[in-house]
Amino acid sequence: MIAYITAWSAEQDLPCALVERPDRSIGYANELLSDRDRHGVLWRQTALRHRVGKPEFARVHPLRQRRAMELLLCQVCGGPADRNDDGVLWLQRDHSDDWPQWPEGMASVEPPVCLACIPVALRLCPALRRGAVAVRFREYPIAGVRGALYGRSVLAPAAVTAGNFAYDDPAVRRVLASALIRELRGCTVVPLVEIATRLGL
């Protein structure tokens, strides 16, 4: 099984020329309304040819990642993520050494998961095999984007750095987004043993 958000070899970036706009933001020379999200941020345009060619596990397809995050879809199968009274289920790499309250308040570009896909994700993702935690979050507001920040240049905007940008950051007007970020709050850790028991594993 190949994860829903994985990019395929036929899904390369489209040749879109970036330009300076009068309001000092960046845009495409032949921009469409669909090139921006509801916050007005420009998104990387990538061919949509799901399951054509070979899966490229190191790449995430921007549109499918954004769709999964907006609609709270499972990143593995693309169906609805698991949810109960404790919140929506996420499977995260274990970064509990990063700060005392982890994962409370974490910014994530990883979409949630459904219960049935947890064993698949653990098996397919090398990063998760090094340590994973299942967590339910009661609050998960969309907070911003991950992408490349473009500076002014003589011929056309030029990428200067990559990172995470909040929607209320003025710099986001010069970002070419490739992933949607949710801030995850109100966490309840779910032991993987408990999940395995529920799945009969």
Length of the chain: 201
| pTM to 2 decimal places | 0.93
Inter-residue contact 28 to 17 (CB < 8 Å): yes
The answer to whether residue 176 sits within a structural domain is yes
Mean pLDDT of the chain: 93
Instruction: Name the residue range of residue 61's domain.
Output: 18-198
Residue 12 within a domain: no
Beta bridge partners of 102: none
Indicate if the pLDDT at residue 127 is higher than 80.
Answer: no
Q: Is residue 6 part of a domain?
A: no
Whether residue 4 lies inside any domain: the answer is no
Residue 51's pLDDT is: 94
Q: Is residue 149 part of a domain?
A: yes
Q: Is the pLDDT of residue 23 over 90?
A: yes
Burial 3-40 (b: 16+ CB within 10 A, else e): bbbbbbeebeeeebebeeeeeebbbbeeeeeeebbeee
Q: Please report whether residue 13 resides in a domain.
A: no
pLDDT in tens, 70-99: 999 999 999 999 999 999 999 999 888 888
Specify the higher pLDDT residue, 198 or 171.
171
Longest CA–CA span in the chain (Å) reads 61
Q: According to the model, what pLDDT value does residue 201 have?
A: 67
